[in-house]
């Protein structure tokens, strides 16, 4: 089943790089730099100009490397989700939960990862078939929130995003995260065109992940 296979590959990535950029070119170059550093999960956000074209370019470039999983982020509605899926996105991430988007992703058998902050939101997301819930923003809580959420809802798979860094990544995994979303410090050098630094930081994350996963 397509969706199960994508989910299994997504969990294997361990770290999903949240890629933003002032231009399509910057986002594509940053994505290549991240993959060069050894990270295999890319979430290209729809705040990037011509995001659908950037997605097409990346999914076509990496189509023969099954370990690389490319999805779309900051998807606010079902129209954008369909556009992303048609452009090759393998999973859809939203900053908040949207039922129509969940239904559309179910229709196309594409994993949907909505951003949730409360138990009520998590419950709504699970009812609508969300496979992994994006805990967003993670910085508002800290790793201990995972066990707090899992006490009443033990079946939920959580991906904290926002506030995950090299310094606290191990804590998030120890707390029970299935994978983590990373943006800020990883992407910062891209805005000034320093893609080598993006690769160097990605290498640090990949090494840290290896250390954590043993």
Catalytic residues: 43, 134
Q: How far is CA 51 from CA 85, 125, 184, in A?
A: 12, 25, 19
Whether 70 contacts 42, CB under 8 Å: yes
Q: What angle do CA 176, 183, 149 make, to 5 degrees?
A: 25
Half-sphere exposure of residue 133, counting CA atoms within 13 Å on the CB side? 31
181: three-class secondary structure by DSSP: strand
**How remote is the C-alpha of 28 from its chain's centroid?**
16
């Amino acid at each position: 089943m397509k969706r199960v296979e994508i989910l299994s590959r997504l969990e294997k990535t361990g770290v999903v790089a949240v890629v933003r950029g002032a231009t399509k070119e910057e986002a594509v170059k940053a994505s290549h730099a991240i993959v060069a550093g050894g990270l295999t999960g890319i979430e290209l956000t729809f705040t990037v100009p011509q995001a659908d074209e950037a997605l097409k370019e990346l999914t076509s470039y990496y189509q023969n490397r099954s370990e690389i999983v490319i999805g779309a982020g900051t998807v606010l509605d079902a129209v954008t989700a369909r556009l992303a899926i048609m452009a090759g996105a393998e999973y859809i991430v939203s900053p908040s939960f949207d039922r129509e988007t969940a239904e559309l992703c179910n229709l196309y058998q594409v994993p949907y990862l909505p951003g949730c902050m409360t138990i009520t939101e998590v419950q709504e997301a699970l009812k609508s078939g969300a496979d992994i819930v994006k805990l967003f923003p993670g910085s508002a809580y800290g790793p201990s929130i995972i066990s707090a959420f899992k006490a009443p809802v033990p079946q939920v798979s959580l991906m904290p995003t926002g506030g995950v860094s090299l310094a606290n990544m191990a804590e998030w995994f120890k707390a029970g995260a299935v994978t983590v979303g990373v943006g800020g410090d990883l992407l910062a050098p891209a805005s000034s065109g320093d893609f080598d630094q993006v690769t160097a930081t990605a290498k640090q994350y990949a090494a840290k992940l290896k250390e954590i996963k043993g």
